[in-house]
Structure 1
Amino acid sequence: MKLDGSCHCGKVRFSVESAHPYPFNLCYCSICRKTAGAGGFAINLGGEAATLTVEGEEHVTVYHAQGPDGPSPLGRRFCSQCGSMLWAWDSRWPELIHPFASAIDTPLPVPPEKVHLMLGSKAPWVEPAVGVGDRCFEEYPEESIADWHARRGLVS
C-alpha cells in the first residue's frame, strides 16, 4: 500500500510503500510520549526505505535520543518548521522506515486489535484505552510489526 504523508505546515511531503499499514502498535515510551505530544503514545507503521520519496527534504531534521551508551541509532525525522513527527529510521535495519501514523494522509485500515507497549514508561495521568483482544506489554513485545501483520494475514 502506498502511504502519502505530510507535516502540519505542508513544507514536507513524503510517500513510502508499506506492506504493514495497520496502525496497531501504541508506544508509551518517554521518547514517543514527549516528542509526539498526543495521548501519551505514538504509532509507527512499517515501510520499505528504498521506496521513500521526500519533497521539502531541506526542512527535515533528525533527533537521536540519548541513551546510557550515547545517541540512539534510531533517528526520528521531524519538520524543522512546524515540529511534526514524520518517520523514524534505524541504521541497524536500513531497509525499513517507520512513518508515524499521525503524519499519514492516506486513509489507514482499522486494526482488529491493538498492542500497547512500553506501558512501564507511560505518564501517570495516561489511562490506556485497552479494548477487548488488545495486548499489553510493560516493555517491547517480541513480535515485530511485520510478524503481527503476517500472523493476521494482513500483509498487503
Structure 2
Amino acid sequence: MHLEGSCHCGAVRFSLESKHPTPFNRCYCSICRKTAGSGGYAINLSGDFESLKIEGAESIAKYSAVIDGETSQAERSFCKTCGSALWLWDPRWPELVHPQAGAIDTPLPTAPELTHLMLEAKPDWVPLEKGVHDQCFDAYPEESIEDWHKRLGLER
C-alpha cells in the first residue's frame, strides 16, 4: 500500500510503500510517550525503507534514545520546526522503516485486534482500552508486525 505522510507544519512530506499498513500495536514505553506526546502506540506501521521519498529533508532532526544507559542504534526522525514525530529507522533492520501512524495522511485500515506492549511502563493516567481479541504484554511480544499481519490475512 502506498502511504503518504507529513509533519504538522508541512515542512516535511514523505511517502513509502508498506505491506504492513494496519496500525497493530499500542506501545506504552516512556520513549514513545515522550517523543510522540501520546499515551503510547506511536510507532506501529512498517514500510520498505528503499521506497521512502522525502521532501524537506533539511527540516528533519534525529534522536536516538538512551535505554539502560546505552544509546540506541534506532533513529527517530522528527521535524525540527514543529516537533512532529515522523518515523523510526534502525540499522539492525535496514530494509525497514517504521512511520508514526499519526504522521500518515493516507487513510489507514482499521485493526481487527491490537497488541498492547510494554505495559510495565504504562502510567496510571493512560487507560488500557483493551478489545476482546487484543493481546497484552508487559514487555515485547514474540510476534512481529509482519507475523501479525500474516496471521490476520492483512498483508497488502
TM-score where L is the length of structure 1: 0.97
Q: Is the 8 A contact 2:28 2:39 kept in 1?
A: no
**Gaps (5+ residues) in structure 2?**
none
Q: Over the residues paired in the alignment, what is the CA RMSD in angstroms?
A: 1.0
Q: Distance in 2 between matches of 1:47 and 1:140?
A: 20
Matched, 1:49 2:49: yes
**1:139 maps to amino acid:** A
Greater mean alpha carbon deviation, residues 65-74 or residues 5-14: 65-74
**May I ask how many residue pairs the two structures share in their alignment?**
156
Offset, 1:125: 1.2
Runs (4+) off by over 3 Å: none
- Structure (1 or 2) with the greater strand fraction: 1
**2:122 maps to amino acid:** K
**1:59 maps to amino acid:** S
How has the CA–CA distance of structure 1 residues 111 and 128 changed in structure 2, closer, same or farther, with 3 Å as cutoff?
A: same
Partner of 1:107: 107
Offset, 1:85: 0.4
Q: Distance in 1 between matches of 2:43 and 2:23?
A: 6
Partner of 2:65: 65
How has the CA–CA distance of structure 1 residues 141 and 75 changed in structure 2, closer, same or farther, with 3 Å as cutoff?
A: same
Partner of 1:80: 80
Q: Is the 8 A contact 2:25 2:41 kept in 1?
A: no
Q: Is the 8 A contact 2:3 2:15 kept in 1?
A: yes
**1:76 maps to amino acid:** R
- The 5 Å alignment of 1:118-133 reads 118-133=118-133
1:39-66 C-alpha deviation (Å, 9 max, x unpaired) = 3442420000000000000001100001
Percent of matched pairs sharing the same residue: 61
Q: Distance in 1 between matches of 2:19 and 2:154?
A: 8
Greater mean alpha carbon deviation, residues 105-114 or residues 37-46: 37-46
Offset, 1:69: 5.1
**2:84 maps to amino acid:** S
Greater mean alpha carbon deviation, residues 117-126 or residues 5-14: 117-126
Q: Distance in 2 between matches of 1:96 and 1:45?
A: 10
**1:84 maps to amino acid:** S
TM-score where L is the length of structure 2: 0.97
